[in-house]
Chain A
Amino acid sequence: MARITAGIASSHVPLLGVASDQGKDRDEYFGPIFAGYDWTRTWMEAERPDVIILVYNDHASAFDMTVIPTFAIGCGERYKPADEGWGPRPVPDVAGHPDLAWHIAQSLILDEFDMTIINEMAVDHGLTVPLSMMFGKPEKWPCKVVPLAVNVVTYPPPSGNRCWALGEAIRKAVESFPEDLNVQIWGTGGMSHQLQGPRAGLINAEWDNSFLDRLAGDSDDLRHIPHIDYLREAGSEGIELVMWLIMRGALGAAAKALHRHYHVPCSNTAIGHMVLRPDNGEGFDMSGSDRQRSATP
């Protein structure tokens, strides 16, 4: 059967894509940000996931104001990088996994999550920047991707509680897929940032780090943070963090942190990144990498 072996949280700032594409990823400004992903890149080579369920938000790229799906799942064969106003990123096309994606979509709908199905769309930095951070610059991405787009732009976005519950339903869906697949789930966006108005530039390192602390372990109190708290404490775009809760919900009752990274700033944004393992006694270690490396929570 398919199973979710790890969860990854990561910011998806567009400037990181520019830095990667222009070879600036080890310069004075970006070096400390990318260095925090080195551990993950090495670990990923050992883990070799077959599929990533990549939770992200579209930033007015595939979806404009004509249609605003709250939860949309990509069931297509391929996705091209979007032209976000400065030409598409020079990164490989993203290969989908229609069999798994349709299985998850059907399972979720039967589980009372009324998903929007996407067969064709372009994918923007929300999806391609995390791939670059975790895999660098390969000729083709080393695994397939099931995009899961969440509306966090037009209010109200889904509640943290609903996101967590969606994650739990995704886990059930994956575990009922008959093929043996090593599946990871990534939650992207955040951490604290505000891109608009006189309050722009807001960063709250204390709040962000408390969020990271609580992402690991066996508490699910993060699911109860109301939208207004994200807005007040983590800035208007900090609301993207609800997407991390889909990832966390899919890991089950407890999760342990294998790796953690936090850096301020990248452009307007606080960068947060965490690698998590479901902590349910089964291990799910694909490589022995848990034993070979010391955890750095």
Chain B
Amino acid sequence: MTRDIHAYLAELEDIPGTRVFTAERARQGYHLNQFAMSLMSEESRVRFTRDERAYLDAWPMSEAQKQAVLDRDYNRCLDLGGNIYFLSKLFATDGISFAEAVSTMTGMDFDSYRKMMAAGGRSPDGQRSIREGR
């Protein structure tokens, strides 16, 4: 199957409220994601929790990336190249559930988010395409 890579990549940016983990984001977020990955051992989690700033300073991340982590601003982390599966190591370290962490990116409180999910989740209507407004 042949396809135009430029058209393919442009389409990925046409989805409302979504940052697809493209090569461009993967490159920008490399050290942010590798930092998050380091939290997969108990020893690292303890060290990070004891002094988050010092732990982050050992990584060649941008100041903006470090601040987004300290703020637990997950939308900002995504903007700076973070990937949700890597960032999940961070919210696991914080002891919060995947759903609660995800809810913080939606502008809803966790209780409202949970109720939305229990009622069948967010409808795709109006959420499919920015360009086509559908």
A residues sitting closer than 8 Å to B (CB atoms) are 14-15, 59-61, 64-66, 82-87, 153-156, 159, 161, 192, 194-205, 207, 227-228, 231-233, 235-237, 264-265, 267-268, 270
Q: Is the CB of A197 within 8 A of B23?
A: no
Is B64 among interface residues, defined by CB-CB distance under 8 A? no
Q: Is the CB of B12 within 8 A of A155?
A: yes
Closest to A87 in B: B42
In this complex, the interface size class of chain B, counting residues with CB under 8 Å from chain A, is: 35 or more
Q: A60-B85, A231-B20, A264-B121 are in contact. Are A200 and B40 (CB under 8 A)?
A: no
Q: Is the CB of A85 within 8 A of B122?
A: no
Q: Which of A85, A203, A268 contacts B93 (CB 8 A)?
A: A85
The smallest beta-carbon distance between B129 and chain A, in angstroms, is 6
The smallest beta-carbon distance between B60 and chain A, in angstroms, is 13
Interface residues of B in 7-49 (CB under 8 A from A): 8, 11-12, 15-23, 26, 30, 33-34, 36-37, 39-42, 45
Per CB-CB distance, the 8 closest pairs between chain A and chain B, nearest first, are A203-B121, A85-B92, A199-B17, A198-B17, A265-B117, A232-B128, A201-B122, A85-B89
State A64–B32 Cα separation when bound (angstroms): 12
> Which residues of B are found within 8 Å of A159, using beta-carbon distances?
1
> Which residues of B are found within 8 Å of A231, using beta-carbon distances?
12, 15, 18, 20
Closest to B127 in A: A199
Q: Is the CB of A203 within 8 A of B122?
A: yes
> Which residues of B are found within 8 Å of A200, using beta-carbon distances?
17, 102-103, 105-106, 122
The smallest beta-carbon distance between B49 and chain A, in angstroms, is 12
State A197–B108 Cα separation when bound (angstroms): 12
Q: Is the CB of A195 within 8 A of B84?
A: yes
Q: Is the CB of A236 within 8 A of B39?
A: no
The smallest beta-carbon distance between B70 and chain A, in angstroms, is 18
Q: Is the CB of A264 within 8 A of B21?
A: no
The smallest beta-carbon distance between B51 and chain A, in angstroms, is 19
Closest to A207 in B: B124
Q: Is the CB of A197 within 8 A of B98?
A: no
State A153–B89 Cα separation when bound (angstroms): 15
> Which residues of A are found within 8 Å of B102, using beta-carbon distances?
195-196, 200-201, 268
State A15–B102 Cα separation when bound (angstroms): 14
B residues sitting closer than 8 Å to A (CB atoms) are 1, 8, 11-12, 15-23, 26, 30, 33-34, 36-37, 39-42, 45, 74-75, 78, 83-86, 88-93, 95, 97-99, 102-103, 105-107, 113, 116-118, 120-124, 127-129
Q: Is the interface of A mostly helix, strand, loop or mixed?
A: loop
State A127–B21 Cα separation when bound (angstroms): 22
Q: Is the CB of A201 within 8 A of B88?
A: no
Q: Is the CB of A265 within 8 A of B88?
A: no
Q: Is the CB of B42 within 8 A of A267?
A: no
State A171–B83 Cα separation when bound (angstroms): 34
> Which residues of B are found within 8 Å of A267, using beta-carbon distances?
97-99, 117
Closest to B8 in A: A156
Interface centre among B11, B41, B105 (most CB of A within 10 A): B105
The smallest beta-carbon distance between B1 and chain A, in angstroms, is 6
Q: A64-B34, A153-B21, A196-B84 are in contact. Are A203 and B120 (CB under 8 A)?
A: yes
15 sample A-B contacts, Cβ–Cβ < 8 Å, listed by A number: A15-B97, A15-B99, A60-B83, A60-B85, A64-B34, A84-B89, A85-B39, A87-B42, A196-B74, A197-B18, A198-B17, A200-B103, A201-B106, A204-B124, A227-B12
